[in-house]
Amino acid sequence: MEWSVQQLARLAGTTSRTLRHYDAVGLLKPSRTGGNGYRYYNHAALLRLQRILLLRELGLGLPAIADALAHEQQAERALAGHLRWLVQEQDRLARQIASVRRTLKAVTKGEDIMAEAMFDGFDHTRHRAEVEERWGKEAYARADAWWRGMGGTDRDAWKRAAEQLSADWKAAAESGGAPDSPAAQEVAARHVRWLAAIPGTPAADGGDGLKAYILGLGELYVADPRFAANYGGAAGAAFVRDALRVFVEGQPWPGRG
């Protein structure tokens, strides 16, 4: 069975123009082109389009999506990974919705707000096992205590700093500059100082593990789509990784100045 470009656009909730653009950049080629010039897509093309749209939902740009598809040839494995992420997000969003509904109901009826239930789904502890496996239980405990001890203003400021770093990294990567350029190295220095503000991390403690910690994070940014999405996808994350490597190899105590 085949679908025309118009039929596929309706099925996928996108536009014919978008599909033609995907064809032009080599991201999604039609299965065949008829004698009249019309594009037709088969099941394999539909499967590839689903993966493309899922990666777009993760925040990846088209070059990063092309890289991801090139490195993950097995559709079954790729979709299984996407499904795990979507299920996690579904659970988190369901808990957020329930939390906000409870708060809205309490406010509307003038009832007491249950503080312990207000932030379900906004939980930073969902990465606890991952953090403990990488850096130990003590590191997680110290960072968790630091986060819980912060006031709302400080938390907002920390989040804004993270968002600004993400935006500045994307701008540096898209500017065409090199990872060792002054602009990229300025962002790298701020990134390490930002990490150093989190108790329990090697960036905060200094010492011999500092360089390995920063280099390891750089590799994690590239390998994990959740992190790569913060930097515009795999290509942006690779730029961050390379800039951080240049920074830590050029400074004996990065983040201390």
Least confident of 28-42, 65-79, 97-111: 65-79
Q: 231: pLDDT confidence band, cut at 50, 70 and 90?
A: confident
Query: Which pLDDT score is estimated for 257?
Result: 39
Q: 121: pLDDT confidence band, cut at 50, 70 and 90?
A: very low
Query: Which pLDDT score is estimated for 119?
Result: 46
User: Is-contact 214 198, C-beta < 8 A?
Assistant: no
**Per-residue CA distances from 74 to 78, 83, 192 (Å):** 6, 14, 36
Query: Which pLDDT score is estimated for 224?
Result: 75
DSSP label at residue 81 = H
Percent of the chain at pLDDT > 70 equals 67
Query: Which pLDDT score is estimated for 246?
Result: 93
pLDDT at 115 over 50: no
Q: Which amino acid is residue 83, in one-letter code?
A: L
Question: How far apart are the C-alpha atoms of 10 and 149, rounded to whole Å?
Answer: 50
The mean per-residue pLDDT over the stretch 229-255 comes to 81
pTM for the structure as a whole = 0.47
Q: Give the residue among 77, 18, 86, 85 at the shortest CA–CA distance from 49.
A: 18
pLDDT at 216 over 50: yes
Domain boundaries, the chain: 3-61, 74-122, 128-257
b/e map 78-111, b = 16+ CB within 10 Å: bbeebeeeeeeeeeeeebeeebeebbeeeeeeee
Tokens representing 101?
A: 């509904």
Question: How far apart are the C-alpha atoms of 191 and 251, rounded to whole Å?
Answer: 14
Sign of CA dihedral 240, 246, 248, 253: negative
Question: How far, rounded to the nearest angstrom, does the alpha carbon of residue 85 sit from its chain's CA centroid?
Answer: 11
Find the distance separating the first CA and the last CA of the chain, reported in whole Å. 63
For 61, the 3-state DSSP assignment is coil
Q: Which residues pair with 41 in a beta bridge?
A: 3
Question: How far apart are the C-alpha atoms of 155 and 150, rounded to whole Å?
Answer: 6
DSSP label at residue 31 = S
In terms of pLDDT, which residue wins out, 91 or 45?
45
Tokens representing 118?
A: 């207000």
Question: How far apart are the C-alpha atoms of 64 and 84, rounded to whole Å?
Answer: 20
CATH number of 3-61: 1.10.1660.10
